[in-house]
């Protein structure tokens, strides 16, 4: 059984990623699940997440997308048995040690880097830590000073 929606075809067995926080269904941005059933009559799609099944009506299908592959940014906070990390000079602006580290730490057992050593070397050398202007240190000092009084 399959369902065409938003330029994609959804089928039972497809992996999907939740793209928004849905507090009513208790599924959150980045959660990955598998479509277990599509009910054309009831106009519902059921997705099995790690612990439970969640049912979406057709109006809410935009909350998730197919997830056969996910970006490093979408995978933050998640782990996978194996990651395949394509890293090429064409992505010059994205190449950084921070992004490489984040991608590699998503792997539980195996990480595979695909690309030229030049791109990997550039990513390792480039550190893109930026100064953050949050005033957090000042706020903590202020709180600490007022608590001491």
Task: Find out whether 6 and 30 touch, Cβ atoms under 8 Å.
Answer: no
Which pTM was predicted?
A: 0.67
The residues spanned by each domain of the chain are: 2-66, 73-125
DSSP designation for 75: H
Q: List, for residues 95-124, the tens digit of each pLDDT value.
A: 999 889 989 999 999 999 999 999 999 999
64-66 β-sheet, strand order: 53-57, 44-48, 32-39, 15-18, 64-66
Domain 73-125 has CATH 3.40.50.1010: no
Q: What are the tokens at 46?
A: 């059921």
Point out which residues pair with 33 in neighbouring strands: 16
pLDDT score, position 76: 73
Q: How far are the Cα atoms of 31, 54, 95, 102 from residue 85, in angstroms, in the given order?
A: 20, 30, 12, 11
Distances (CA, A) of 101 to 51, 73, 76: 29, 12, 11
Cβ atoms of 30 and 75 closer than 8 Å: yes
pLDDT score, position 3: 93
pLDDT tens column, 43-88: 999 999 988 999 999 999 999 999 988 888 888 778 889 999 999 9
pLDDT class for 130, splitting at 50, 70, 90? Answer: low
Looking at the domain 2-66, which fold is it? SH3 type barrels. (2.30.30)
**Inter-residue contact 17 to 31 (CB < 8 Å):** yes
């Amino acid at each position: 059984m399959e369902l065409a929606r938003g330029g994609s075809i959804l089928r039972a067995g497809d992996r999907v990623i939740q793209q928004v926080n849905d507090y009513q269904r208790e599924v959150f941005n980045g959660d990955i699940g598998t479509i277990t059933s599509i009910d054309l009559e009831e106009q519902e799609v059921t997705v099995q997440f790690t612990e439970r099944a969640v049912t979406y009506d057709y109006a809410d299908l935009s909350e998730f997308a197919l997830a056969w592959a996910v970006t490093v940014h979408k995978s933050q906070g998640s782990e996978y048995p194996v990651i395949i990390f394509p890293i090429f000079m064409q992505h010059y602006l994205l190449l950084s040690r921070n992004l490489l580290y984040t991608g590699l730490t998503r792997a539980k057992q195996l990480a595979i880097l695909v690309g030229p050593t030049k791109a990997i070397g550039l990513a390792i050398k480039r550190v893109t830590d930026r100064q953050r202007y949050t005033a957090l240190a000042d706020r903590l000092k202020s709180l600490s000073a007022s608590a001491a009084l």
